[in-house]
Amino acid sequence: MMKKQKTIKLNALTFYNYLLRFVIIISLLVITFGIPYSRIFLYLYGGKNLSSSSGPILLRLYCIYILFLAINGITEAFSQATMSIKQLKNYRTLMLIFALIYLGIFYILIKQIGTYGIIISNCLNMLLRIITNTYYIHKYFDGILWSKPFKYSYYYIITLILTLSICYYSEQWFNNSLIYICFGIFLGFLILILTWKEEKEMIHYIYCIIRLNRQKKIS
C-alpha cells in the first residue's frame, strides 16, 4: 500500500514538474519576444497613437504578468488538490489576508505610478500566492525533488536574455518594420530549435500525455 502511494506521488510529481516547466518556458518565450516587439505590435494593431503612448510599457509589463499568472495557475491548482480540509481552511484565510494586502498595494501604486500600478500590484499578489502554493507543494513532496521546473541551464537563460536585448535594440537598426519582424521570426525559430534540444525530455512527456488522452477519447 505504501509503495503504491509512493508511486502515485512520484507520478504526480512528474506530471506537475513537466506541466509547470512547460508553462514557464512558454511564458519566458512570450517575455523574450513580447517585450521588444510590444511597440510594433501595438502600432500594427492601433496605429501611432496607441504605440507612442503608455501602451508599449503596459504590454511589456503584461508579458511579465503572464509568467506570474501561469506559475500561479499550476501551483494553486496542484496545491489545493493535495491539501487536507484543515489546510484548505488555512489557505482560504491566507488568501483573504493576501487580498487585503493586494488592495493596499494596489491603492499605493495607482497613486504613485498610475495605470502601471495595476499590473505590478497583480504581479506582487501572484508572487505571494506562488510562494504559499510552493510551500504547500514542498510539504506534500517532503524529501523529493520538486523544484525542477524552476531550474534551467545557464546557457538557455543567457541566450534568452541576449535574444531579448538584441531584439529590443535592433528596432533602431531596421528602418523597415517588416524586416524587423522577419528578424524576430528568424531568432524565434532559432530559440525554438534550442528549446527543443534543451527540453527533449519534457516535450516527449507532454506528447505522450496528449497522445494517451486522445486514445482514451477514441476508445
For residues 122 and 64, give the distance between their C-alpha atoms in angstroms, rounded to a whole number: 11
What pLDDT is attached to residue 141?
80
* pLDDT over threshold 70, residue 146: no
Residue 216 sits at the vertex; the CA angle it makes with 214 and 219, to the nearest 5 degrees, is: 110
**pLDDT: which is higher, 149 or 182:** 182
pTM over 0.85: yes
Amino acid type, 143: G
What pLDDT is attached to residue 96?
94
Average pLDDT, stretch 162-176? 88
What confidence category does residue 33 fall into, taking pLDDT thresholds of 50, 70 and 90?
very high
For residues 3 and 119, give the distance between their C-alpha atoms in angstroms, rounded to a whole number: 45
- State the average pLDDT for the chain: 88
What pLDDT is attached to residue 10?
79
What pLDDT is attached to residue 135?
87
pLDDT over 70 percentage in the chain? 94
**pLDDT: which is higher, 13 or 126:** 126
**In this predicted model, what pLDDT tens digit does every residue of 176-208 receive, in sequence order?**
888 999 999 999 999 999 999 999 989 998 888
**pLDDT: which is higher, 147 or 13:** 13
Phi and psi angles of residue 185, each rounded to the nearest 5 degrees, phi first: -65, -40
Average pLDDT, stretch 143-162? 83
What pLDDT is attached to residue 36?
93
Query: Grid coordinates standing for 28?
Result: 519566458
Query: Grid coordinates standing for 168?
Result: 529590443
What pLDDT is attached to residue 3?
67
* pLDDT over threshold 90, residue 48: no
Query: Grid coordinates standing for 218?
Result: 477514441
Q: What is the 3-state secondary structure (H, E, C) of 73-91?
A: HHHHHHHHHHCCHHHHHHH
What confidence category does residue 7 fall into, taking pLDDT thresholds of 50, 70 and 90?
confident
* pLDDT over threshold 60, residue 1: no
What confidence category does residue 97 fall into, taking pLDDT thresholds of 50, 70 and 90?
very high
